[in-house]
Chains A and B, each alone.
Chain A
């Protein structure tokens, strides 16, 4: 029993020493990392809206001059609007071995449908949004650090001021002119679809067009929609990748 007690005492002492030394060595590693100079750089974040997904790409480089590996390196962005939290971006986690420099891209993607399920007005209306940007990393697989900051930014609506005008018809087609202004800071590419419904809300025709609209640019397109039955009024709906953007009545009731 004495040997067991002695062994336990030794294990406890060793573990306490290790536990108390680890934060000290982690702190020394971080100091060495910070003293290295030119340790990190973040490039211009690149946002794109394509195929119904809002993607973000942040180029960065980190020179890990410390003596512990950095793991779980990631950036997360939580966006808050009037309706509360509306989006959550999180880049994939990276590992940076000790003494190495890593230059890579932190990328994240979110479905536009998920993004707009909280606040559809963001498609067509500008807004002031809050974002919490957090940088997270773990040192020596034991101690994690997170640095977060709150920002307010202007959200430019990607389908600002949408207008749909009925410009003509014949026995087989209805012709509509569609325009909107991409006020967002990212380009839009994907399928824009116009659907027409008759007075009983039954779809009578639909047509899609691949669009590619640059940031701060006006889109104008003409949709010549083949119709299954002759109708001269109803509702017209504009979709982007199956997300309803705008609807209005057309024709004379």
Chain B
């Protein structure tokens, strides 16, 4: 590889990083706006869950950046699969495996949505399957990678 090609490759990579950072920043702004909306409408109730919200935001931004930067490589699909794994664990943990409780005015309110949680996990398993098929197709199309 001569110096011109190396320069061009570095430039392409830099452009990729800038694009990925830009998209991630847009996503970040959207997540922030959602946080502002939820915290103003739900107030203290939502603030109890703000740590869980920010974990989701950080993970989402990380995967957005990672997927964008690894565009046209097999790693893109690895990140897609990892994101689905993360979502399965996150959804199960953050929803206390589908059972949420809260105390209000001397009453204890409990909501149980295990069937919905099961479908959400199934959707993410389908996403993993799709990621695997995409990875196989990508490998088949570009054996040099």
Contacts and interface: CB of A to CB of B under 8 A. Distances in A.
Q: State whether these chains interact.
A: yes
Interface of A: 1-2, 4-5, 8-9, 11-12, 15-16, 18-19, 22-23, 141-150
A1 B137 contact: yes
Contact of B113 (A11, A15, A143): A143
Contact of B123 (A15, A143, A145, A148): A15
B116 A8 contact: no
Contacts of B133: 1, 4-5, 8
B119 A5 contact: no
Contacts, number: 65
A145 B109 CA distance: 7
Mostly, the B contact residues are helix
Contact of B106 (A1, A11, A150): A150
A16 B91 CA distance: 14
A19 B124 CA distance: 12
Contact of A144 (B107, B113, B123, B130): B113
B70 interface: no
Contacts of B4: none
B56 to A, nearest CB: 15
Given A4-B133, A143-B112, 10 more contacts: A9-B130, A12-B126, A16-B123, A19-B119, A141-B115, A142-B113, A142-B115, A144-B112, A145-B111, A146-B110
Nearest to A6: B130
B129 interface: yes
Nearest to B137: A1
Mostly, the A contact residues are helix
A8 B126 contact: yes
Contacts of B123: 12, 15-16, 19
Q: How large is the interface on B (under 10, 10 to 19, 20 to 34, 35 or more residues)?
A: 20 to 34
A77 B130 CA distance: 48
Interface of B: 106-113, 115-116, 119-120, 122-123, 126-127, 129-130, 133-134, 136-137, 140
19 contacts: A1-B133, A1-B136, A4-B133, A12-B127, A15-B126, A19-B119, A142-B115, A143-B116, A144-B112, A145-B109, A145-B110, A145-B111, A145-B112, A146-B109, A147-B110, A148-B108, A148-B110, A149-B106, A149-B107
A33 to B, nearest CB: 16
B107 A148 contact: yes
A4 B110 CA distance: 40
Nearest to A141: B115
Nearest to B101: A146
A5 B137 contact: yes
A142 B116 CA distance: 7
Nearest to A145: B111
Given A16-B123, A19-B116, A19-B119, A5 B109 contact: no
